[in-house]
Amino acid sequence: MKSGRILVPLSIVTFIVALGIFGYLLNASQAFSYLSTDPVACINCHVMNSQYATWQHSSHREVASCVDCHLPTDNVVDKYMAKARDGWNHSVAFTLNTYEQNIRVSEDGAARIQENCRSCHARLVENIVTNEQRYHDFKGIAADERKCWDCHRGVPHGRVRSLSSTPDNLGVREL
């Protein structure tokens, strides 16, 4: 009978300790910052400093944040589903150190970026498509396989080559 009375307080203490650890992890990982659209959230992981620093020097800095290019903009559900999927993949790669020196966007991420480029620059894209035979030489690449960054490589991250070799990466500064 006595052991039953001890188990109840022990389980409450265990629950409180677990809750405290969970709260500490949320705070230490700055978890709630990922719900925002603030580009500073993207540099919570130090491996994104090059991308953030070069974006700060780009033409897109004043008009587009990370989420404007890298996440779906059509609806909130798609946006947060992609954010959760990417967040999970990033946290696994960064925690286990399985990313390469030159970070590359996933196929899903590339499709989102391409859609957002075309959406923001719809009028320009329309002109390019209309005049593509006159002004663009894509060397046999089919129109549906072309990505905006095939030609516009330096937008919006400059010439990011790797985590250790990036022009304009003079250090990260907060806006």
Task: Kindly list the domain boundaries of the chain, sorted by start residue.
Answer: 1-35, 39-175
Instruction: Using 70 as the pLDDT threshold, list the residues of the chain that sit under it.
Output: 1-7, 46, 132-140, 142-144, 159-175
**Which pLDDT value is given to residue 164?**
59
- Structural fold of domain 39-175: Multiheme cytochrome fold (1.10.3820)
* Strands annotated E in 2-99: none
Q: How far, in Å, CA of 54 to CA of 165, rounded?
A: 11
**Which pLDDT value is given to residue 129?**
74
